[in-house]
Chains A and B, each alone.
Chain A
Amino acid sequence: MPTADAFYLATIIVYGAVDAMACLALNVEFGFAGLSNFGFIIFQSIGAYVAAVLSMPNWASSNGGFQQYILGWHLAWPLPWIGAAIAGGLLALPFVFLVGKRLRGDFAAVGLLVSAVLLNVLVKNYMPLFNGDAGISIVPAPLQSLWNPQSLGYQFAYGGLAVVLTIATYFLLKRVTESPFGRSLRAMRDNDIVADSLGKNIRGQRTSMMVLGGAIAGLSGAVLVGFINLWAPGAWGYAETIVLFAAIIVGGAGNHKGAVLGAILVPLGFEEVTRFIPPLSNPTLVPALEWVAIGLLIVLFLWFRPNGILPERRRILSGLPSGAAAPVLTGSDTTDADVLVKLGNIEQIDFRQLLRLGEPVNDHRVILSTHNLTKSFSGVTVVQDVSIEVHQGRLTGLIGPNGAGKSTTLAMLAGTLPSSGGTITYDGRDITSMPSNLRARAGLVRTFQLASEFKKLTVLENLVSAIPNQSGDSLRGALRGKRFWGAEDRANIERAMEMLEGFGLTQYADAYAGSLSGGQRRLVEIMRALLAEPKVLLLDEPMAGVHPNLAHKIGEQLVTMCQAGMTVLMVEHELSIMDAFCDPVIVLAEGKVLAQGTMAELRLKEEVVEAYLVG
């Protein structure tokens, strides 16, 4: 091989590794955690800068001080690279406010995009910190005093090191994503409000992924700057982030191999292919067409192949023979009647054991109560001074006409919506201002009126993700590896399989939850809420769309669970369910409590009949 070609090959290896590391990091943020970090490039940029200035001598004393920068500690390799990773991770912290709040995903993304744009403007114009638009040159190559960086051997060794770091990144991130914590990340990606209601700490999960992704991005920047020996802010424009997003969309979001493939095809491929185009009379034409092509790639892939070349793969956890397991459903080829046929043994489930219920307590003390609970939206009061009491071990019903404020009340009890006034007391504690994920951890778990399954988690994953106190369900736990959490996870999977069997859904264990029929999805949601080990279960129309016979079987089981010490508050339109199972029943109308009692008593009350039972 001619020497020039060999040098070129080494360069390509380094560039490819840097792009692959960046895409892997962005993919765990976007493809797994659902964070659209449109400011990603600034994390790579800060890493490169920090690596540069940590390895350079003090600016005033070197080369006559022709360029300005901070630090200048002249540290030996690999300390500057470690510093770069730390800087990338720390940079995530100021942005936590954007991703931690329940800000719409696109609004947060816009905030990050604009941050990247403006930081670039600032850097280009502020001399002392970053030497302005000119950037920094003569950045030392690692170990350059020991080995000539211009030698072919050095260049290939550098490329080899970059590839090793990429492989290490790949396995590190895989360890994180293929763990219970990774499951929680994907649950958050699919529906953050529901994940929150099951006790996941959304802000914590997002922060840890921003920090982890930022650290890897910072390291990738350090690898690049040590090789090309210069740092110019012009090369870190916000549009570079869009190139990386294009790479992930093309390669396959939520798939590590897809991220690497995308990195090779898009940033590396575009950069290198255009080198071979002869210079034209119009110097802007080729770069302009490159950008047009990036734009086209994004739009066309999102339309024709939204999951990329290597789509996220489905996790088969059930251990069932692959032939029998996981039929890929098309939605219409199953009915609730099918489920009903298989609903053989729901009576045989020992829910007390499965749900870790304690000894039954039958003193029926008040476990959950509200005092003058109120909610208004921009001046319109939808719930007004509602004071209710829910007794332990009872199945309390909540009925009322449309717009009575039932779902809003439930949402305030669970913390999904903040209340505008009044107090909520749970288990003797005032929880009015407690975040919803902490309420769920304390045993106050809700379901949703609208379909809320995690669509791109399998049915089994949906269930397992809800089980509390998993030792692999934190970044630290995930990093300790499968040996640390594997046995526990297998036990959890078995528990969930037992539940599935009881509800007659075993054969769908490995199917995506999003592919089930409406009634089946309600069942998944009920099972998931039960596995969250609630003390008080708040159900919002759980039987809507469920076959009536099946609904009655579930109702009977709920009664059994209440006898075993659980408490249920259930919003339901189906009065036959209320008649059969709920006592007492609270009637809401126009945001106020209208009446309370058994269904038989309520049917005798004129105002209730007028407000609801007839209409």
Chain B
Amino acid sequence: MDPRFMWETLGKLVEGVPLLFQLVTVSLAIGFVLAVLVALARLSPLAPLSRAAAGYVFFFRGTPLLVQVFLIYYGLSQFPEIRASFLWPFLRQPYWCAILAFTLNTAAYGSEIIRGGIQSVPWGQIEAGRAAGMSGWLLMRRITLPIALRQALPAYGNEMILMVKATSLASIITLMEVTGIAHKIISETYRAVEVFVVAGSIYLLINFLLTRAVKQVEWWLSPHLRDAPGAAVKEEAALVH
């Protein structure tokens, strides 16, 4: 272990962080919207819709992300029809292939998390909403989804962490994010241990910040689980009297 070499390595690896951030944020943002839609489709009373959603989730949860990245990048480009289509300007670029693979993958996992959240909304809350005259989309928007998302947040935070780590697979389709750069430095220096220790620390730090952020959001979203300001004081006062 050579601290000076590790410091130099850190400087080079950090250059991959912006790409990592882009991959994570873009695929999580699109993936989240898709996940909500898929979860709603999965719970839809329309059988074909529900089955299509279930099939999609089955496929993307049941196959390794590595295989999905390969199939989307190297697989699709094998078809001349695709190379001639309007999609090619996007699929030609490794960046968009990675975004596509990551988005479809995270949406599949996310949809199951959100479905669980929706199904865990207490029946009483929905009944109360119905009693207040809400139904359909309004009920979903005002009552079900907010509660469901709050319930799903801890599990979804997990998925976000997995996504950060999954970006390391982008290096196999020539994208130079942190792991890609790490491989390159190793190929130049053959010092695998030091480089991977630094690369691992970068992921660790990013995920540390991410878990803090998710915790903070959880705290904001659950004021009802905390005591009201001054509550403890009042209780104590009541006991004294």
Indicate whether A and B interact: no
Binding site for A on B (CB under 8 A): none
Q: Which A positions have Cβ atoms within 8 angstroms of B? A: none
